[in-house]
Structure formats: C-alpha cells, structure tokens
Amino acid sequence: MKLTVRNFANEEVGDIELADEVFGLPVRRDILARVVNWQLAKRRAGTHKTKGISEISGTTRKPYKQKGTGRARQGSLRSPQFRGGARIFGPVVRSHAFDLQKKVRRLGLKTALSAKQSEGKLVVIDEARFGEAKTKALKARLAALGWDSILIIDGSVVDEGLARAARNLPRVDVLPQQGANVYDILRRDMLVLTREAVQRLEERLK
C-alpha cells in the first residue's frame, strides 16, 4: 500500500510503499490485549509488603497460662487476631512479570501498526527535525497540523531539538525506532513515523 509522505509544514514531499506484512494485518484485539498486559505487568514495582508474625515488634511472652482462665488459649500477642498483630498471607515483595513468546510480541507490534493504518491515524513524514528546541513553537506547529495526542517514532537516533521541545508536552511522545512498543502506540491517537523509522521497523518485523 502507498502512503503520502509529508513534512512538518504539512507539504507533500513524495510517497512511500508500506509492507502489507507489517502494516496490513487484520486487527486482533486479543493479541493487543496480551501484549499490553505483559508490558504493564513487567513494569510494576511489586514493592507491596505486609509484616508476618516474625517481623512484628513486641513481646514473645505467652499472654496468660494455658488452662484455668476460662478464655481461649493464646500463644502470642503478635498473632493476627490481635490489634497490631501480623497479617496472614499478605502481599510480599515480588516481580509481576511473566513470559510472553517472542512471536506473539512481534505480532502484537505489527498488529498495533496495522490498526493505526486501518484507522487512518498513521502519518509518515520525511524527517523529524525541529531546529528550534522550544515547546511553544512545537505546540503551535502540531496544533496547525491538527495533532493533539501523538507518538512520533524516529530512526535510530531522535533529534535532540525535537526531544527537548516535546519533553514538556503531556500528550506528545518521541521515541527511537528500537523503542517502538504496543502500549505507547495505542495510548496516543496519532502515530507519526519517519521514513527511516518505517524502513527500520520493516527490517525488524518482516
């Protein structure tokens, strides 16, 4: 399939042929959901923690004698039934990450790219160069193009001026092609790729 290539001034500067095996796949919501859940689980801190009975500070003395009081037998004031005691089977520090097959991760990225293409929300630009590293100037340029929530994927190296200008815009993300991922593609409305990004992504995913 062919797509028109534009520049930051919204001028047509040519066209590009997109590979169907990367940008023309059917949209599978189940694959996208699997990859997004895998990404979000992998980045969880997992630092939640409660104290077991051995970690509670306090006396180890038996509260009262075993027999003769008419009360239920107790062995420790640090037990979970007492106020300030331990918690049984509480959360512990752990990793939430799980494995996902490499072919499923590759298919998820290709499906996300194909979804943006099928929705008409994929734009290819000649190059992502922005000499004036000013947030105000970039915001005005994007508003003129009608781009509010966008992800810009460049080649192997992101232009420093563009990265600095976009750093303080909450709905604008800039990534190198090796950082392209399903979650960031889906969380933004528009996907903007450079010519180099298209070439590198097709080399990776074909």
Tens-digit pLDDT profile for residues 89-127: 999 999 999 999 999 999 999 999 999 999 999 999 998
Contact indicator for 96, 40 with CB cutoff of 8 Å: no
Distance separating alpha carbons of residues 70 and 55, to the nearest angstrom: 30
Residue 25: the pLDDT is 95
Q: Rounded to the nearest 5 degrees, what angle is found at the Cα of 54, between the Cα atoms of 53 and 60?
A: 85
For residue 90, give the amino acid letter.
G
Phi first, then psi: give them for residue 78, nearest 5 degrees.
-95, 5
Element (H, E) at 165: helix 160-166
Specify the pTM: 0.85
Q: In terms of Cα–Cα distance, which of 125, 97, 127, 122 is closest to 110?
A: 122
pLDDT number for residue 103: 95
Angle at 44 between CA 40 and CA 48, to 5 degrees: 145
Q: What is the structure's pLDDT at 2?
A: 87
Of 142, 194, 196, which is closest to residue 166 (Cα–Cα)?
142
Encode pLDDT of 3-61 as tens digits: 899 888 888 888 899 999 999 999 999 999 999 999 999 999 999 999 999 999 999 99
What is the per-residue pLDDT for 128?
85
pLDDT digits (tens, 9 = 90+) for 165-194: 999 999 999 999 999 999 999 999 999 999
Beta strands 150-153 and 122-125: pairing type? unpaired
Predicted local distance difference test score (pLDDT) of residue 171 = 93
pLDDT at 131 over 80: no
At 173 the three-state DSSP class reads strand
The mean predicted confidence, pLDDT, of the chain is 93
Give me the pLDDT at residue 199, please.
Answer: 93
How confident is the model at residue 6, as a pLDDT?
A: 87
Expressed in percent and rounded to 5, the helix, strand and coil fractions of the chain are 35, 15, 50
Residue 71's SS3 state is coil
Phi, psi of 159, rounded to the nearest 5 degrees: -60, 130
